[in-house]
Amino acid sequence: MPTLRDVKKRIRSVISTQRITNAMEMVAAAKLRRAQQRIEQARPYAEKMDQMLGHLAAASTSEIVHPYFEQRETRKKTLVVITSDRGFCGSFNSNIIRRAVRWLDDNREYETELITVGKKGNNYFRIRPVPIIRFWGDWGGSLDYDRAREVVRFATDRFVSGQTDRIDLLYTRFLSTARYRVTSQDYLPVAPPDIPEEGDERDSVAMDYIFEPDAERIYAALMPGYATTIMVTALADSFASEHGNRMIAMNAATKNAGEMIDGLTLQYNKARQAQITKELLEVVSGAEALKG
């Protein structure tokens, strides 16, 4: 049975842990607000980019030719796995890793490779029999546009050069503060733009454009930016989801610590009361013995 000193020491330890988890919850909440702002900026831009590409395709007089659209026989696939650098974020990383393992199982007939973004995913897969061709870590839970462009440049170069035939993204999509969804998304080759049909309201809007010099060359200028937009949006979603999961996990840890402190305090008070009662009985017994 633990002594009073042991119980008191444990209470102090749990109180110290509770302060840490509470501080981590507040930091995660502040980072989440900034990450949400980035998502609010990135998503409308990505949607407008999709709309612009559709209008370009509708206005073009011939088939759009660009390396990012090249559909070829799939022999090799690449998966970009986006996880966090740090833990204490609930099931965030385990859900991504579990989905990545399932993706590898589903694509056994192809040669596969990984690009890992975040230490947790890299640490898991580096001791498994799957090649990791490139790793980016130490993001600090915030979006770095220069490093994001490095990821895009590396991935697109491998696809254009024929070193891989297909690239998929795996990340956690941010829905709300308490809702997230692990998402698998085709990255390269890019799906052909959604061309408005005749009679569609979008058709008249698209055909009102006059393109200079021509749609094909505009596509050549826009596609690198489009690939970067998709990657930046995925990273922003992932970082926001990470902070949201960490905030919820630390909130639960703080509450659990509070409940543990209450239980230990009750245990301490009961043990203290038992000790006082025992001491009183000893005094009374001693007094009675002296009388006799």
- Per-domain residue ranges for the chain? 4-27+249-291, 31-247
- Does 221 or 240 have the greater pLDDT score? 240
Question: pLDDT value at position 190?
Answer: 85
Separation CA 165–CA 159 (nearest Å): 6
- Does 83 or 194 have the greater pLDDT score? 83
- Does 53 or 241 have the greater pLDDT score? 241
Amino acid at 171: Y
Question: pLDDT value at position 45?
Answer: 84
Whether 57 shows a pLDDT value over 80: the answer reads: no
Could you tell me if 184 and 64 are in contact, meaning their C-beta atoms sit under 8 angstroms apart? no
Q: Give the residue-averaged pLDDT of 248-266.
A: 94
Beta bridge partners of 179: 176
Separation CA 85–CA 118 (nearest Å): 5
Topology at the third CATH level for domain 4-27+249-291? Helix Hairpins (1.10.287)
Could you tell me if 273 and 5 are in contact, meaning their C-beta atoms sit under 8 angstroms apart? no
The catalytic site residues sit at 89
Tens of pLDDT along 4-45? 888 899 999 999 999 999 999 999 999 999 998 888 888 888
Separation CA 76–CA 131 (nearest Å): 12
Could you tell me if 73 and 163 are in contact, meaning their C-beta atoms sit under 8 angstroms apart? no
Question: pLDDT value at position 202?
Answer: 47
76-82 and 166-176: which strand pairing?
parallel
Separation CA 54–CA 57 (nearest Å): 5
- The backbone region for 286, taken as left when phi is positive above 0, alpha when psi lies in -120 to 50, beta otherwise, is alpha
**What is this structure's pTM?**
0.83
Say which residues have a Cβ less than 8 Å from residue 245's Cβ, sequence separation at least 6.
Answer: 89, 90, 91, 92, 180
Q: Does the structural domain 31-247 have CATH classification 3.40.1380.10?
A: yes
Question: pLDDT value at position 230?
Answer: 92
Question: pLDDT value at position 63?
Answer: 65
Whether 1 shows a pLDDT value over 80: the answer reads: no
Beta bridge partners of 132: 114
Whether 228 shows a pLDDT value over 90: the answer reads: yes
Q: Give the residue-averaged pLDDT of 57-72.
A: 74
Helix axes 145-160, 215-291, angle to 10 degrees: 130
Lowest model confidence (mean pLDDT) among 178-182, 239-243, 281-285: 281-285
Separation CA 31–CA 247 (nearest Å): 10
Beta bridge partners of 183: 171
- Does 93 or 199 have the greater pLDDT score? 93
Tens of pLDDT along 95-135? 999 999 999 999 999 999 999 999 999 999 999 999 999 99
